[in-house]
Each structure stands twice: as C-alpha cells, then as structure tokens.
Structure 1
C-alpha cells in the first residue's frame, strides 16, 4: 500500500506540472504534442515504480526520481523561449520556471549529501524534507504569482488596444 501512495503522489505532482506545460503552451502558442507529453508522463511513472525499491538517499534513486520534474520545468520554460515573447512579465515567469528546473536538478545531489532517509518515513522526519518542501512550495507559489502577472498584463494590454479604437465608428480615440 505505501508503494501505491508514493507513486500516486509522484504521479499527481508530475501531472500538475504537465498540465502547466499544456497551459503555457496554449497561452504562448507553443503547444505540447499530446502523444509526447503522455509518453513522458507514463514513462516517468513507470520508472518511479521501478525505482521504488532502490535505497533512498542514493544518487541513482534521486536522479531517476527528480529527473522528470527537472525536465518538465525546463520544457515549460522552453515554451516561453520558443514563443519569442519578451515582456518583463514573461521574463520573470521564465526565470521562475528556470529556477524551479534548477531546484529539481540540485535536489538530486542535495538529497544524497544532506541525507533524505532510508525510507519514506525517515524522509518525513529529516531536516532535508522540511527545507526541500518549503523551498519547493515557495517556487511553486512564485511561479503562480508570475503567471498571474503575465495574464494580468495580457488583459491590460488587450483592454488598452481595444480602447484606442471607437467600437462604433472604427476611428481612433
């Protein structure tokens, strides 16, 4: 039963990040290819099933566990780069996604160096878990605020553009 919960938690977090990639792809007109994204998701969950019994706190376990999170964050950041939108708000969002990707990359080595525990229960009691989860939550929150900023800027820009032309006459205001 613990395996089901552990893999389920992994899959839920990864699914959320995949949905983020879909949303950003739609917003920035750089859509993710659904078969590629589905293959990435399923492959990552299958790998997580296989590594469940590997000793925690090893480089091998940490690499295969954190790698999908790093890749999906980097893939989301790449959507902004490919869109060629370069507003200040887009840059902040890009930086937050790049920072999040880097965070998951660093976690591979930090989990081994700091000791993430031999079991899931050990992990929950470790100082590494407290710091890691808090930092991850701050990055997710920061990314969400950056996305809100991008969308608010888009709405304001659209309203400004619409207000410059009179709707009835089609003439500039």
Structure 2
C-alpha cells in the first residue's frame, strides 16, 4: 500500500468527519466544540491536497511550509474544539507561543537536510505540543467516564506517535528530496499511523458528543423551562430513585392566591412570581435536594437523609424569604406568600403515599389562613409521643 493511496484515504476520511462534526454542531447546543473540530478536519483536507502537490514542485519549500502550517492550523482548531466541548479555555497564550516558536524556527527546520532525523524532530515538535494541549484539556476537565478515559488514551497515543516519528525516520531512512517523500516506507508507515489516529480520535470524540447531547436532551425533557427546576416527570423519576436509598422528607408548596396574581397583574407577572419562588426554593435547598415544579403553582422538594425537623426548617426558611421579599412585577411593588406541607417518609411509603400525606398538611396550611407551614399530623403525634 503506497503512501499516496493512504493519503487519499485520509482525504476521504477527513472530509467525512468534517461534515459529521458540522452536523453535530448544527443540531446540538451542548456540542460547543463541534464546529471547531469540523473546521480542523476541513483544514486537514487542505494539508493533504498540498502534500499531493509536493512531488510536482521544482522548489518544494513553499509547498512544504504550506503542508507544515496548515496541519498545525488543523490541530489548533481541534485543540480549541476539545477545550470548548469540555468547558475549558483553550490556553490561547500557550497556543500563541507554539505558533510563534514554530514560525521563527521554520528557516532552521527547512534548511536542515531532508533526510536528517533532526529535521523530522523539529517538524514534529509543534504537533506533539498541540496534542499534549488536547490531552491536558481532557485531564483538567475532571471527567472520568469510560468514553472520556478512552479519548484521553487515544490522544496520548497520538502524542506518542508524533514523538516517535523521528525514531521511525531514523530506522527506515528518509528520501533525500521532499519530492520523493511519497515513495518511501517512512511515508507509508507515517500516513498509515496518521489514518489510524485520525479515525480513532474522531470516532471517540463523536461518541463523547453523542453521549453529552443525549444527556442534554434528557435534562431538557425533565426540566421546567419557566422555573428552571425539574418538571413533574423529572421530579418523580429522581425522587423515586432517591427514596430507594433511605429516609427522606417531602416538602410541598403552593403559591397563595395565584389566580389573583394573574388576574390583577397578568400572566407575565405570574410567570415572574413562579420563577422567583423557584429560585428561592432552589437556593435554600441542600445540594442533594430534588426540587421540582409539579403543577401550575405547585412545587415539591425531596430532602434525602433528612428528618421532619429538617423539612420544617427548610419550609420555614423559604416561606420567610418569599413573604418578606418585595418583588417588583411589571412596575407594581407587591409581596406574595406561599403555604407548605411537610411529611417524612416511613418504611412502607411510596412516593405517592408520601405525596398524599404532604398534601394533607398543605391543605391544613391553606385552611389555617395561608402563608403557613404544617406537618403531617400522624408524624407530629408520633414525635410528641416519643418526646
């Protein structure tokens, strides 16, 4: 298999992945780096086309420099893409430093005899540095899922390949002229290794993006867009899973006189009150709490590993903050209130059982004048008997 044939395969593969990542960028909001990686593979295609031109050149230096720099540019785009996807700064000062050193060493690199391993070492050094930057972004992300670890392994392997090319060139020998590169065993092996890493990196990165896109879709399907907390479906799914782990307290809440808010100030004002109340509930809740909007103006919070007193304290905290906060809605300064019911899970409780008892406490808070917190009576009696 000749280097020219492998190069043609690389051109085809790079085109496929350029399109694939462009499609991912178009359909997924979470794939922040896909457009950069698409641009990287598209730029890599230009590198391959320059390599095809190289054997036809009387003076190979200009086209050789074009090959050298376009490939480095392709890698730069991929560094930015991986960093963007994982939510990290691409380390622009380091990237700029690599480019500055590379450009200033071009005269030295291209003045060394073509067959020299020292030239290969200088040629591969910026590629190795860029590959390390990608690996560093993966390590710093802190993600340790299987696909992330696999991607890190692939990137580390690619870095080792760049580092080993001077040794491969020394063992196999190089052409004496750049125009004869395609006919060498080194070119065939180098391009074959490049094809393997090209496919491996792209496939694993696509799998990572598909995984993260799927996770984003699940989150969006479980999240109430107005309040930014879980919707009823999401709350029930996560709450049922949490109840399997042990004790928990359920707090349910209902905004008082919500219909009057809509009637007096309009539905936009009502939406603002809902969003404000949800933010208070979320901010007051512990990290492991499950917060959801389960109806129009109805909310629920499950507190894992909590006692009845914890639930009551949480509900009183939210009630007090909401009732004392003067909320300007459409130019009208107004205070609003909410009522709360609290129930603690017993060993035999399902989520439906726990919700029913918390609702009973909520109804008593409403009947008692609103802007109140009430606990489920049987639990209060049990607590008194123990006392």
Q: Report the CA distance between 1:167 and its aligned residue.
A: 5.4
**Is it true that 1:63 corresponds to 2:96 in the alignment?**
no
Q: Which residue is equivalent to 2:139?
A: 81
What do residues 88-117 of structure 1 show as CA deviations (whole Å, max 9, x unaligned)?
111121111111000001111111111121
Q: Which residue is equivalent to 1:123?
A: 181
Gap runs ≥5 in structure 1: none
Q: Which residue is equivalent to 2:43?
A: none
Comparing 54-63 with 160-169, which one deviates more in the overlay? 160-169
Q: Given the alignment, which residue of 24, 36, 50 partners 2:82?
A: 24
Higher relative contact order (CA 8 A, sep 6+): 1
Contact 2:60 2:179 in 1 (8 A): no
Q: When you count helix as a share of all residues, which structure comes out higher?
A: 1
**Is it true that 1:170 corresponds to 2:228 in the alignment?**
no
Q: Report the CA distance between 1:149 and its aligned residue.
A: 0.6
Contact 1:62 1:112 in 2 (8 A): no
Q: How many residues end up aligned between the 2 structures?
A: 173
- Secondary structure of the structure 1 residue equivalent to 2:111: coil
Q: Given the alignment, which residue of 53, 67, 70 partners 1:12?
A: 70
Partners of 2:222 and 2:114 lie apart in 1 by 60
Partners of 1:62 and 1:88 lie apart in 2 by 34
Greater Rg, structure 1 or structure 2?
2
Partners of 2:106 and 2:192 lie apart in 1 by 23
Q: Which residue is equivalent to 2:172?
A: 114
Contact 2:147 2:207 in 1 (8 A): yes
Q: Which residue is equivalent to 2:159?
A: 101
Comparing 67-76 with 47-56, which one deviates more in the overlay? 47-56
Contact 1:25 1:31 in 2 (8 A): yes
**Is it true that 1:158 corresponds to 2:219 in the alignment?**
no
Q: Report the CA distance between 1:142 and its aligned residue.
A: 1.2
Partners of 1:26 and 1:135 lie apart in 2 by 27
**Is it true that 1:39 corresponds to 2:97 in the alignment?**
yes
Partners of 1:122 and 1:47 lie apart in 2 by 24
Q: Report the CA distance between 1:42 and its aligned residue.
A: 3.0
Gap runs ≥5 in structure 2: 1-58, 237-387
TM-score normalised by structure 2 residue count: 0.42
Partners of 2:99 and 2:154 lie apart in 1 by 22
Contact 1:7 1:45 in 2 (8 A): no
Q: Which residue is equivalent to 1:2?
A: 60
